[in-house]
Amino acid sequence: MIISRRSAAAVCGLVATLAVGLFPPAAAAADEPAGKPVPKVDLVLDVSGSMRTRDIDGKSRMAAAKLAFNDVLDAVPEEVELGIRTLGADYPGKDTKVGCKDTRQLYPVGPLDRTEAKTAVATLVPTGWTPIGPALLGAAEDLGEDGDATRRIVLITDGEDTCAPLDPCEVAREIAAKGIHLTIDTLGLVPDEKTRRQLTCIAEATGGTFTAIQHTEELSRRVTQLVDRAADPVVNPVATEGAASCANAPQIKPGLYSDREKFSEHRWYRVDVLPGQELRASVSVGADRAVDKDYGVLLRAVTVHGRELVRGAESGDGRTDVISSGLRYPKADVDDDEAKETPETVCLQISNSFSAPASVQTTPGLPVELTVDLVDAPSTASDVAAFGLGRGWWLLGTMVLTGLIAGLLWGWISRLRLVWSN
In angstroms, rounded to a whole number, what is the distance separating the alpha carbons of residues 160 and 48?
Answer: 11
- Taking residues 141-154, report their average pLDDT: 86
Q: How far is C-alpha 327 from the geometric centre of its chain's CA atoms?
A: 19
In one letter, which amino acid is 130? T
Residues of each domain in the chain carrying CATH 3.40.50.410: 38-231
Using DSSP, state whether 320 is helix, strand or coil.
coil
In angstroms, rounded to a whole number, what is the distance separating the alpha carbons of residues 199 and 213?
Answer: 12
The burial class, CB within 10 Å (0-12 / 13-18 / 19+), for 380 is exposed
From the options 3.40.50.410, 3.50.50.60, 3.40.640.10, 1.20.1250.20, give the CATH code of 38-231: 3.40.50.410
Using DSSP, state whether 186 is helix, strand or coil.
strand
Lowest mean pLDDT among 149-158, 212-221, 330-339, 353-362: 330-339
Lowest mean pLDDT among 37-41, 128-132, 222-226, 231-235: 231-235
In this prediction, residue 185 carries a pLDDT of 93
pTM as predicted = 0.54
CATH dotted code for 238-379? 2.60.120.380
Residue-wise pLDDT for 88-117, tens only, equals 999 999 998 999 999 999 999 999 999 999
